[in-house]
């Protein structure tokens, strides 16, 4: 962890201090001598397309023996894996449909390619790395393929096979770790698996130009220089600063990885190789600059050309095979993420914290003086993948969250803002006590005995039929009821409330928490109900206790009379604005009085020829007395008009 801790600090510092990624310069601009980058393979065996790669089998469990299966959920869909190598056979049945156009040094102008050929030489010329040229190992003539400018070469086909093998480990349908990842060939090596510093620099610059800020991506560099390269280190730092994770093979020289590029480049995830018996591979580079080990010996994967069968497979050995196992796991981790400046640190922390500890038996037990031992960490993806298929159905003050459940995993769901949480070993649970109309970030994390998954996060807003109102209070007035109530502040905005008095159905509607009901009858007992309404419907009804409006009564609107010899019967229409009204009728002169709850009074013993004035007033059962009266003038008896009577008539 010592090297990685320092590396991540450097990455963060570089990101803060650099306004834009540092440009990567072509060969004419570099000051250091050209070095040759080579693939990290030391031996091969015959094709084998019949059984599961033991590497896949090993990384999904903690201990031997192997289970004979590889379990996964996430597939790396939506993540780009840049494969800095010899190209990819894009039409291989394991890879077809997921290889996109990349970059190739063959697209350079002919003058540049001639310069590179002069330095590298021909694959047909034996060298320490390529002692014997065999035309059958290459689908195309190597000199024509390597040294002819081909502007429309985007990284496919592959005339060496190494890049195709690496691509198959990362993302082959059957052979790969991340079976849905997008594969991007970046050809920096020729048909012998060799490339120059300037060729690699141009490939890394192309990645930096192609990558969009925030896009989840991983770079696999199963290549290595014999020494450190300052210019390559600088280029890798530019990629790290943009949030691109860089995975590098530790190298196959059985020496410290700290003195090489890219294995010793600060910020890369450097990978040593293990064998199927959990021994450190004898060829693997070692030391504190190796972050973890992964299966690298005798790994079956895709091959680059037809040799007695269609789309064959081949078994190769080396740290080149270990690194893509890690790159595939990184792609699975990044699925669904948007990268930021902290992604590289986050990935490294998560990856190393979930490795299997102390499973490796080391063969390099005596590192050079001052060099620490390789960390005893073996790649593992046995913690759950991030939950998939996460959705949230909105209810009133609640979110019903669901996901695709996997047996043996417990899921914990939390919301932000707030502290609402729920958990389940099934496929759903509900977050309650939320606020309607508030947008929540909902996080679902799966856990098992090995640890926690990365969170899957969605946003959702609870809403639904409103909650019922509470605590209704009524204030009685004359023919009015002032109603007030409380309602949860966590309910959705845009509510309306309707208060209704029963009997008679008088009501008021408002968006506030109070309103006044008019046109009720004084003296009559009312029950008031309040209902909240929004676009989803209405709440249940909340009722109050009985309230009785009261106030000064009105008087009848008119009065009529029936006149007889000595009495008068006076009648009037009922007062409807107050209940249980008593009518009081007085006369002038005479001070006759009639008090009744009926709608008439009869006054007897009146005097003929006298004009009487009758006043009708009212009072209620609670003693409220009207301040007004209605009057009418009446004269008892008969009115005799004077007339002329003729004699004899």
| Placement of tokens 């393979």 in the chain | 41
CB 168 within 8 A of CB 94: yes
CA distance 222 to 246: 11
Q: Helices 319-334 and 162-171 meet at what angle, rounded to 10?
A: 40
Neighbours of 599 (CB within 10 A): 15
Which among 248, 311, 320 has a CA at the least distance from the CA of 89? 311
CB 194 within 8 A of CB 120: yes
Is residue 25 annotated as part of the catalytic site, yes or no?
no
CB 323 within 8 A of CB 248: yes
Structure tokens at 562: 């029936």
Expressed in angstroms, the distance from the first to the final Cα of the chain is: 145
Neighbours of 89 (CB within 10 A): 28
Tell me which H or E stretch contains 4: helix 2-17
3-state DSSP assignment of residue 1: coil
Q: Map 146-176 to HEC letters.
A: HCCCCCCCCCCCCCCCHHHHHHHHHHCCCCC
Structure tokens at 463: 């809403």
**C-alpha separations of 141 from 144, 158, 165 in Å:** 6, 12, 20
Any idea what DSSP says for residue 625? B
Per-position DSSP letters for 169-235, written without gaps between them:
HHH-TTT-SSTTPEEEEEE-S-TTSEEEHHHHHHHHHHHHHHPPTT--EEEEE-EE-SS--HHHHHH
Q: How many residues does the chain have?
A: 649
CA distance 348 to 234: 20
CB 24 within 8 A of CB 186: no
Q: Of these residues, 191, 229, 320, 394, which one is catalytic?
A: 320
CA distance 53 to 68: 9
Is residue 67 annotated as part of the catalytic site, yes or no?
no
Q: Of these residues, 92, 138, 162, 487, which one is catalytic?
A: 162
Question: Would you call 42 exposed, middle or buried from its count of C-beta atoms within 10 A (0-12, 13-18, 19+)?
Answer: buried
Q: Of these residues, 27, 53, 85, 388, which one is catalytic?
A: 85
Is residue 320 annotated as part of the catalytic site, yes or no?
yes
3-state DSSP assignment of residue 433: coil
Residues with a known catalytic role: 85, 162, 320
């Amino acid at each position: 962890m010592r090297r990685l801790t320092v590396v991540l600090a450097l990455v963060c510092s570089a990101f803060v201090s650099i306004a834009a990624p540092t440009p990567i310069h072509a060969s004419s601009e570099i000051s250091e001598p050209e070095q040759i980058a080579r693939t990290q393979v030391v031996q091969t065996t015959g094709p084998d397309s019949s059984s599961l790669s033991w590497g896949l089998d090993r990384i999904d469990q903690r201990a031997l023996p192997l289970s004979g299966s590889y379990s996964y959920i996430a597939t790396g869909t939506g993540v780009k894996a840049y494969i800095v190598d010899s190209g990819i056979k894009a039409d291989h049945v394991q890879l077809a449909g997921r290889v996109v156009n990349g970059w190739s040094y063959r697209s350079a102008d002919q003058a540049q390619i001639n310069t590179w050929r002069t330095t590298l030489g021909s694959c047909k010329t034996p060298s320490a790395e390529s002692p014997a040229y065999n035309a059958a190992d290459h689908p195309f003539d190597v000199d024509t393929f390597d040294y002819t400018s081909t502007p429309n070469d985007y990284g496919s086909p592959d005339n060496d096979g190494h890049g195709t093998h690496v691509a198959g480990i990362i993302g082959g349908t059957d052979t790969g770790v991340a079976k849905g990842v997008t594969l991007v060939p970046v050809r920096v090596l020729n048909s012998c698996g060799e490339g120059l510093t300037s060729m690699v620099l141009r490939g890394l610059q192309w990645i930096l130009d192609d990558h969009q800020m925030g896009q989840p991506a991983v770079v696999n560099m199963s290549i290595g220089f014999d020494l450190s390269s300052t210019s390559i280190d600088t280029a890798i730092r530019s990629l790290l600063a943009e949030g691109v994770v860089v995975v590098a093979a530790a190298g196959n020289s059985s020496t410290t990885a700290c003195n090489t590029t890219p294995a010793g480049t600060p910020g890369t995830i450097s990978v040593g190789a293990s064998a199927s018996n959990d021994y450190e591979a004898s060829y693997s580079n070692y030391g504190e600059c190796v972050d973890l080990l992964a299966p690298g010996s005798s790994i079956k994967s895709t091959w680059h050309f037809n040799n007695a069968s269609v789309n064959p497979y081949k078994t190769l050995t080396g740290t080149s095979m270990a690194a893509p196992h890690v790159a595939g796991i990184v792609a699975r981790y990044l699925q669904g993420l948007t990268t930021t400046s902290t992604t590289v640190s986050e990935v490294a922390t998560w990856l190393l914290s979930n490795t299997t500890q102390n499973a490796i038996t080391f063969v390099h037990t005596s590192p050079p003086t001052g060099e620490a031992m390789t960390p005893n960490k073996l790649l593992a993806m046995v913690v759950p993948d991030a939950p998939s298929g996460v959705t949230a159905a909105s209810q009133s003050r609640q979110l019903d969250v669901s996901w695709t459940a996997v047996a043996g995993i417990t899921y914990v769901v939390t919301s932000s803002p707030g502290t609402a949480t729920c958990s389940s070993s099934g496929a759903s649970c509900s977050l309650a006590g939320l606020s309607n109309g508030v947008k929540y970030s909902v996080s679902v994390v799966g856990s098992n005995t090995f640890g926690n998954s990365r969170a899957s996060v969605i946003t959702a807003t609870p809403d639904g039929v409103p909650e019922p109102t509470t605590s209704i209070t009524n204030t009685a007035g004359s023919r009015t009821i002032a109603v007030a109530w409380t309602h949860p502040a966590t309910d959705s905005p845009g509510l309306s409330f309707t208060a209704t008095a029963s009997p008679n159905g008088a009501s008021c509607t408002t968006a506030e928490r109070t309103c006044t009901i008019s046109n009720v009858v004084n003296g009559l007992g009312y029950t008031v109900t309040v209902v909240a309404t929004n676009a989803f419907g209405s709440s249940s009804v909340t009722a109050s206790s009985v309230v009785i409006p009261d106030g000064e009564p009105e008087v009848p609107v008119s009065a009529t009379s029936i006149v007889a010899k000595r009495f008068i019967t006076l009648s009037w229409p009922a007062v409807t604005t107050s209940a249980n009204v008593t009518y009081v009728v007085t006369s002038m002169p005479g001070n006759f009085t009639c008090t009744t709850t009926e709608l008439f009074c009869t006054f007897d013993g009146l005097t003929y020829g006298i004009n009487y004035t009758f006043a009708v007033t009212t009072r209620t059962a609670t003693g409220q007395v009207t301040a007004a009266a209605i009057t009418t003038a009446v004269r008892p008896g008969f009115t005799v008009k004077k007339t002329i009577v003729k004699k004899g008539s």
